[in-house]
Structure 1
Amino acid sequence: MTTDTPKPPTTAGKTTFYQGENQTHPLFRIEPGICCQSAREQASELMGYVRDMTLAGLMDGDQKLIWASHYLSAMAKALLDDAELGMMKH
């Protein structure tokens, strides 16, 4: 008797990050098939960097760091949103 171990949920590959005027220019899409747990861990790591970069940018008055943290936070959000889609379909 064999028991099939259920596969962990994976990303849906539907979440796109947009930029530009009116958020109409797709910059990237999350790939389907990434383990949702891994995607969430990566998003958490990115958010840690976002926190550090935002504080450094504000303290130093460095707009480049603030903009970089903005884009990193959008990447983290896309990962989390797509992982959520993958978990809902599972």
Structure 2
Amino acid sequence: MTKTDSSATSELKTVGFTPFLYRSDQPLFHVCRGVPIADALAQASDLLFLAKSLAVDAAYAQDSDRHAWAAHYLTTMSKAVIDDVVKVLTRRPVQSSSTAGQ
């Protein structure tokens, strides 16, 4: 992993390209564009914590389908947020036309 400028990283925001929860081969939801990545990752962490708790409940309780499905949806949402942040962190800078041919 490369070292990044923390002030530049703190200004990065989600791009909003990542869909999740598909129905009939079309995404029902997308990650919102323009959320600071620190806030987006904090939200993903909260969602994953809740999903973990629900998965534990589902493992030990009878008739726990609702716990398992809730955990599934929370992890799907979390993955989309993290994938969107990764797109921001790994995108290449846009080259200007004057430097593209050099």
1:75 is matched with 77
In the TM superposition, residue 8 of structure 1 has moved relative to its aligned partner by 1.2
**SS, match of residue 47 in structure 1:** helix
Aligned-pair distance for 1:88?
A: 2.4
Return the structure number with greater relative CO, CA threshold 8 A, min gap 6: 1
2:96 corresponds in structure 1 to none
8 Å Cα contact 1:18-1:27 kept in structure 2: yes
Aligned-partner SS, 1:78: helix
**Which position in structure 2 is the counterpart of 1:56?**
57
Quote the Cα distance in structure 2 between the aligned partners of 1:59 and 1:20: 30
3-state DSSP class of the match of 2:29? strand
Structure 1 segments, 4+ long, off by >3 Å, are none
Structure 2's unaligned 5+ residue stretches are 1-6, 94-102
**TM-score for both structures, normalised by structure 1:** 0.83
SS in 1 for 2:52: helix
Aligned pair count reads 84
Superposed CA RMSD in Å reads: 1.8
- Offset at 1:77? 0.4
Name the TM-score, length of structure 2 as normaliser. 0.74
Q: Which amino acid aligns with 2:65?
A: Q
- Structure showing greater Rg: 2
The one-letter code of the counterpart of 1:13 is G
Q: Which ranges of structure 1 fall in alignment gaps of 5 or more residues?
A: none
